[in-house]
Amino acid sequence: MCVCVITHTHKLVCVCVCVYRLTERDDTIKRLEEELDAYDTRQMELEDEMDKKTSALISLQVSNVAMELH
């Protein structure tokens, strides 16, 4: 919370404190967004790996069934 006194100089100091806090908050938000983006990227990579492994497993199972039928 910012409280400004009547004089012009003190008002300017007060505004700077508010801007500093907003800048800190914005920096924290940006850092958290970057962290979330990194987690999202890793999650997509893991899902792609799992899809490839699932596809390979299905192919092996289909091949195994085909071999048993012959």
pLDDT digits (tens, 9 = 90+) for 47-60: 999 999 999 999 99
Domain that holds residue 20: 1-70
Alpha carbon distance 14, 6 (integer Å): 11
2: tokens are 């910012």
Determine how many CB atoms are found less than 10 A away from the CB of residue 69.
Answer: 6
**By the 8 A CB rule, do 5 and 14 touch?**
yes
**Global pTM value:** 0.62
Mean pLDDT by 10 residues, the chain (70 residues): 60 64 91 97 98 96 86
Please count the structural domains in the chain. 1
